[in-house]
Structure 1
Amino acid sequence: MTHAKSMPPLSFLDDEGRPAGLIIDLWREWEGATGIPVCFRLTEWQNTFTLIENGGADVIGGLFYSPERAMKLAFAGAFVEYSGSYFASRHLAVRKVRSEIDEPLAVVMGDYAVDYLRDNERDVRVDYYPSAEALFYALERGSVSFFLMDTALAEWKLEQMGERSRFLWMDRAYERDLQPAVQRGRDQLVMLINEGFQNIPAERKEEIISSWIPQEGESSLRLWDILGLGAAALLVGFAMFIFTRMSRRPKLI
């Protein structure tokens, strides 16, 4: 099984160089359900497609379906919902709605975000980066202030880099199912993959998913949270102002 080596929380190499993440845990569960050993081969995301083409791997652990990908890949059943979102630096996010931001939008080459923008937002200026690591390196240096990426990956990396307070979630672009995929024509392998995941109890799947992806409201502070807190502060301040003025009025005897 191949997947990305730096795409937390889906898949990554931990501090000791071992595969870890949501995709890894789900496939380990599949291994237990089928009795078929799974070898993990994590690499740059772009290389996963090459490995499938040249026989270096049997399956990409999980990705979004697209018509372009389906020209070369056969997809198994969905096993987890995943989303992609727009993020912007605080100075952009608190002053503008997403459609008014004129900064270039950073995306990772080979990511589903590229297909999404091509099909839905052709007028957006896009800067392409070879990997998520390259994009976040540019972000840390101040070259990126607006980007579209898998929601959980972006929040994971922003937290890790200490940038969560500087960048805000703005809007969800898409929410779709992740599906394993193999080389076209390998229909028996698709059936085997589906059978294995069907044999994993739903409660166990949910336990694994929730351990890696926080529930809505548990992740980073959103733009509307900021605005809501600001509005609340203004209301409290206004109430205190009125109370102070009333307390200073002369009393009638």
Structure 2
Amino acid sequence: MPTLVVVHSDNTPPLSFKGMNFTPKGLVLDFWKAWSVQTGIGVTVVQTDWPNSLRMMREGTADVHGGLYYTESRDAFLDFSIPILKQKATLFVRADLDITDISDLRGRYVGVLEQGYSQSWLREHYPELKRKPYKNSRHMVEGARAGEVDGLLTEYATLVYQLGSTGQSRDFVPLQSLYEETLKAAVAQGRADLLELVDQGIRDMGEEQRRKIYERWIIPDDALPGWLWPAAGAGLIALIIGLAAVFSGGLRRE
């Protein structure tokens, strides 16, 4: 079988991003490398901005999306695999605003990923909040530094890395974990043959191997008491800085 083209984000750490010397890194890359070894099928991972990753799937220039959440709009042109992993998304807010509840953000802008799950989720559940979309999470936190938004919503580990790497660990603090969703691969709608191939490879990898890949990049919740709540003291700030250093340095080896 020809090499499969798997597409994902170029700036969504720790899932998929470019490390030192622009080397592709991340959980998604490790997952698909392991999937390739398990199945014997070659894989080329293409990194691009998030909207273009979806465009490539629509246009057929990629065979598999490396990992995303199910939505009805995506289901119109994609078929989804069995689960790969779960992730929590957390709302971070500007520390100097003394925001204690999500309702305090009414009238203020929240940064979200363009065509991302966070954008559609916030539109559905909190339509009164203003949403400002960005092509990747790096642009989100750069927009925050420029004062364009007062809140940020995406995966917790991603924001930890990006806020730390842009020197904003003390400027934004976690307010509330808003949702937990299951990351799945996806193929073009109607490609039942390819979907079965993807699913079988995930099954054959087994839960234990998937867990080990996950824990190289994401510290489990039970290892970090008080992760998601607005404690915002010195300990939390130190934790954010430390985790940013972990991700920027690459894999957290076992």
Give TM-score, length-normalised by structure 2: 0.83
The CA RMSD measured in Å over matched residues stands at 2.1
Moved more, 138-147 or 182-191: 138-147
Look up the match of 1:68.
Answer: 73
Read off the aligned partner of 1:110 and give its amino acid letter. Answer: Q
> Is contact 1:168-1:222 (8 Å) kept?
no
Change (3 A) 1:219 1:14: farther
1:33-182 map, 5 Å: 33-92=38-97, 94-102=98-106, 103-182=108-187
Question: 1:225 is matched with which residue: 226, 231, 241?
Answer: 231
SS of equivalent residue, structure 2 residue 20: coil
Look up the match of 1:239.
Answer: none
1:192-231 map, 5 Å: 192-216=197-221, 218=224, 223-226=229-232
Q: Deviations for 1:190-216, whole angstroms, at most 9, x for unmatched residues?
A: 100010011113222111101111122
Instruction: Return the alpha-carbon distance in structure 2 between the equivalents of residues 64 and 219 of structure 1.
Output: 26
SS of equivalent residue, structure 2 residue 54: helix
Unaligned runs of 5+ in 1: 230-253
Change (3 A) 1:194 1:88: same
Change (3 A) 1:154 1:226: closer
Q: Deviations for 1:201-247, whole angstroms, at most 9, x for unmatched residues?
A: 32221111011111225399655434799xxxxxxxxxxxxxxxxxx
Look up the match of 1:233.
Answer: none
Identity of aligned residues (%): 26
Look up the match of 1:241.
Answer: none
- Larger relative strand fraction: 2
Q: Deviations for 1:98-156, whole angstroms, at most 9, x for unmatched residues?
A: 22223222212111011112221112122222332222211222332212112221111
SS of equivalent residue, structure 2 residue 83: coil
Look up the match of 2:18.
Answer: 13
Look up the match of 1:27.
Answer: 32
Where has structure 1 moved over 3 Å in runs of 4 or more? 217-224, 226-229
> Is contact 1:164-1:220 (8 Å) kept?
no
> Is contact 2:80-2:195 (8 Å) kept?
yes
> Is contact 1:168-1:221 (8 Å) kept?
no
Instruction: Return the alpha-carbon distance in structure 2 between the equivalents of residues 95 and 45 of structure 1.
Output: 29
Read off the aligned partner of 1:96 and give its amino acid letter. Answer: T
